[in-house]
């Protein structure tokens, strides 16, 4: 009887003990921190380029413990390089414990692409929305490159699409072996988002041949590229 | 028990009083809760848009109506939705082949009527829009229509005292955003239901058709109803109806959405309800009247090479047959809908 009581009180306690997690998105190009407009980078194809705009949707976060139990937050966030406050998101009410992985969606799931007018991150007024062919633009990478033959030597990748065979929603799975959430404390994960990956692995993008992807044509090529642009830089556990 | 009843009556009485103070005095433009009840007409299928996350209220409907008729939605405040969607034409644009925009700009497609929209899950001639609520973003942002940005429209509404008041009435708080703008518009356009034509009364058995109309119906059922199907008079599919593309318009039709060459020059089969009023016809408005439409379908030699094979059912129609079909099509005119005061321009009062 006593052990049952102890076990019960223990489970009640763990249920009540919750902490927070900050996820910090740090945009990079290769090993350098992304700097809009002025910095010049080289892509995999050896072409120099600068970045004028970088935005993407993330959401539907799943934090998983070793025993398989999950914490889920189904919200979506729009990360904008030119708005510092958008790059840091906060997940609340996470049961304490050790989490081994963090999974999230890059893009917007199909239900939210079909749900009509929405607000917040999914407000179509944010400019990440195609009106004529309904759906969210999951990722925008725009810039300039002497290799591009578009007017102004610009390039632009506007990637979206939730329908087969042009589905560009990608699930990102990051290992977070030493992430610990403690009661009433705030841990954090620093994530690196490497914009250069949009143009490489598996397919090296040649900006002289493909300076623009703005509808379903070629979109999955870019989606397969951006799939691996995220990695964990650092985990800070507040205990 | 009795005192409870008194309270309830008092509460109801007060709510009615408060409610009445919100709406205008002119009974023609007054929208009551009875006016915004969604009733599915007999014989109609289950709607695809169901207002589940957009509960209709008189205040929200009135706000949607105001927005629909307000040029504030366009970049230079010169055009409203109603500029191209006229009530008397079942909200199509009478006698205009292609859509008009600000600064005299001309689009590449004919304005579609607005009716029975909640039975669709794909809007526009190419079916690119998947939800009634997000449809208005297209005319608002299209460079050859209203040429405005959604965020700027919201901004203008936020700085407008009348709208601050109207949004507050509708939502009980001061938030103005695109979701609310679009949802109230969907309430207004979603309730545009046409189901009271002479044809509907004929189906009910309350009126009889003339011999001409009867014969027209018979021809229609065997030759046209394959695509213009059922009580909505469309199967919502995309087809090449045999008209040769107008190359100057560079319109790929459904292919614009799917990037599938097989969909080139296919367009959504439009409903034929109120077709008498929605002239001119076809996605590019090339035919001025129904006679020209019937002449086209009755002339297979002139069809585009990739025409939809259902057209083979039509064959060559005699002048008599064409006239009978047109007489039948005119029974689809729904004056109850066309003169429904709920959809009238509130600025007329």
What does the alpha-carbon distance between residue A106 and residue A159 come to, in Å, rounded to a whole number? Answer: 11
Share of chain A above pLDDT 70, in %: 93
Where along chain B do its domains lie? 30-194, 198-333
Helix H or strand E encompassing B199: helix B198-204
Identify the sign of the CA torsion B269, B270, B273, B275.
Answer: negative
Q: Is residue A5 over pLDDT 50?
A: no
Answer whether A116 sits within 8 Å of B128, measured CB to CB.
no
Answer whether A119 sits within 8 Å of B130, measured CB to CB.
no
Q: How far is B35 from chain A (nearest CA, A)?
A: 24
Q: List CB contacts (< 8 A) between B158 and chain A.
A: none
Answer whether A116 sits within 8 Å of B54, measured CB to CB.
yes
Q: Is residue B22 over pLDDT 80?
A: no
Contact call for residues B302 and B241 (beta carbons, < 8 A): no
Answer whether A125 sits within 8 Å of B134, measured CB to CB.
no
Q: How far is CA A142 from CA A145, A159, A204, in A?
A: 10, 11, 17
CA nearest to B150 within chain A: A125
Q: How far is B176 from chain A (nearest CA, A)?
A: 10
Q: How far is B133 from chain A (nearest CA, A)?
A: 5
CATH class of the domain whose range is B198-333: mainly alpha
Residue from A78, A110, A115, A116 to probe the interface with B (highest B Cβ count within 10 Å) = A116
pLDDT recorded at residue B151:
97
* ipTM summary value: 0.89
Answer whether B179 sits within 8 Å of A118, measured CB to CB.
yes
Q: Does residue A218 belong to the interface with chain B, where contact is any CB pair within 8 Å?
A: no
Share of chain B above pLDDT 70, in %: 94
Q: Average pLDDT over chain B, rounded to whole? A: 94
CA nearest to A163 within chain B: B258
Burial A89-98 (b: 16+ CB within 10 A, else e): bebeebbbbe
Residues 6+ apart with CB under 8 A from A83: none
CA nearest to B140 within chain A: A131
Nearest alpha-carbon partner for B256 in B106, B142, B84, B124 = B124
Average pLDDT over residues A24-28: 98
Q: In degrees, to the nearest 5, what angle opens at C-alpha B86 toward C-alphas B82 and B90?
A: 130
Q: List CB contacts (< 8 A) between B54 and chain A.
A: 116
Answer whether B131 sits within 8 Å of A127, measured CB to CB.
no
Q: Is residue A10 over pLDDT 70?
A: no
Q: Is residue B18 over pLDDT 80?
A: no
pLDDT recorded at residue B349:
74
- Is the domain B30-194 a CATH 3.40.190.10 member? no
CA nearest to A216 within chain B: B259
Which is more confidently placed, A217 or B212?
A: B212
Among the residue ranges A181-185, B10-14, B178-182, B196-200, the one predicted with the least confidence is: B10-14
Answer whether A134 sits within 8 Å of B131, measured CB to CB.
yes
Answer whether A132 sits within 8 Å of B151, measured CB to CB.
no
pLDDT recorded at residue A6:
45
Q: List CB contacts (< 8 A) between A117 and chain B.
A: 131, 133-134, 178-183, 186
Average pLDDT over residues B291-311: 97
Residue from A114, A118, A125, A128 to probe the interface with B (highest B Cβ count within 10 Å) = A125
pLDDT recorded at residue B155:
98
pLDDT recorded at residue B15:
65
Tokens 């998947």 belong to: B130
Q: List CB contacts (< 8 A) between B154 and chain A.
A: 125
Q: Is residue A1 over pLDDT 60?
A: no
Average pLDDT over residues A82-98: 97
Confidence of residue A4 (pLDDT cuts 50, 70, 90): very low
């Amino acid at each position: 009887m006593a052990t049952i009581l102890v076990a019960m009180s223990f489970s009640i306690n763990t249920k009540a003990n919750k902490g927070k997690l900050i996820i910090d998105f740090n945009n990079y190009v290769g090993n350098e921190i992304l700097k809009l407009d002025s910095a010049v980078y080289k892509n995999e194809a050896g072409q120099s380029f600068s970045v004028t705009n970088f935005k993407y949707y993330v959401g539907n976060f799943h934090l998983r413990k070793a025993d398989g139990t999950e914490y889920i937050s189904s919200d979506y966030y729009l990360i904008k390089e030119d708005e510092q406050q958008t790059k840091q998101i906060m997940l609340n009410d996470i049961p304490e414990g050790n989490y081994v992985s963090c999974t999230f969606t890059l893009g917007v799931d199909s239900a939210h692409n079909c749900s009509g007018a929405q607000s917040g991150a999914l407000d179509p007024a944010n400019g990440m929305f195609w009106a004529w062919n309904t759906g969210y633009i999951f990722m925008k990478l725009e810039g300039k490159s002497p290799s591009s033959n578009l007017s102004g030597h610009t390039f632009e990748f506007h990637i979206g699409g939730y329908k087969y065979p042009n589905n560009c929603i990608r699930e990102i799975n990051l290992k977070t072996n030493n992430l610990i959430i403690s009661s009433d404390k705030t841990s954090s994960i620093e994530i690196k988002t490497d914009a250069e990956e949009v143009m490489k692995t598996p397919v090296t993008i040649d900006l002289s041949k493909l300076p623009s992807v703005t509808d379903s044509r070629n979109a999955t090529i870019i989606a397969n590229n951006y799939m691996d642009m995220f990695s964990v830089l650092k985990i800070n556990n507040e205990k | 028990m009795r005192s409870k009843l008194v309270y309830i009556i008092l509460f109801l009485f007060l709510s009615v009083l408060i409610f009445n103070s919100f709406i205008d005095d002119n009974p023609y433009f007054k929208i009551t809760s009875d006016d915004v009840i969604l009733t599915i007409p007999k014989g109609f299928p289950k709607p695809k848009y169901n207002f589940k996350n957009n509960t209709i209220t008189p205040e929200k409907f009135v706000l949607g109506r105001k927005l629909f008729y307000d040029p504030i939605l366009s970049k230079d405040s010169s055009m409203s939705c109603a500029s191209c969607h006229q009530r008397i034409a079942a909200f199509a644009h009478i006698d205009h082949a292609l859509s008009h925009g600000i600064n005299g700009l001309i689009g590449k497609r004919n304005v579609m009527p607005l009716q029975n929209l909640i039975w669709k899950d794909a809007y526009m001639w190419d079916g690119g829009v998947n939800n009634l609520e997000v449809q208005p973003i297209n005319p608002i942002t299209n460079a050859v229509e209203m040429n405005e940005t959604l965020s700027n429209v919201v901004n203008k509404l936020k700085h407008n005292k009348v709208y601050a008041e109207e949004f507050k009435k509708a939502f009980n708080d001061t938030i103005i955003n695109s979701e609310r703008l679009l949802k109230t518009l969907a309430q207004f356009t979603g309730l545009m239901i046409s189901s009271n034509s002479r044809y509907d009364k004929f189906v009910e058995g309350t009126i009889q058709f003339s011999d001409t109309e009867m014969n027209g119906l018979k021809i229609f059922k065997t030759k046209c109803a394959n695509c213009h199907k059922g009580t909505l008079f469309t199967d919502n599919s995309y087809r090449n109806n045999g008209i040769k593309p107008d190359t100057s318009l560079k319109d790929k039709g459904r292919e614009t959405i799917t990037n599938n060459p097989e969909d080139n020059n296919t367009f959504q089969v439009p409903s034929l309800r109120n077709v008498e009023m929605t002239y001119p016809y076809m996605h590019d408005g090339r035919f001025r009247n129904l006679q020209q439409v019937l002449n086209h379908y009755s002339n297979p030699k002139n069809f585009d090479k990739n025409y939809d094979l259902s057209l083979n059912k039509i064959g060559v129609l005699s002048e008599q047959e064409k006239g009978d079909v047109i007489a039948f099509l005119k029974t689809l005119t729904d004056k109850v809908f066309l003169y429904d005061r709920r959809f009238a321009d509130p600025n007329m009062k």
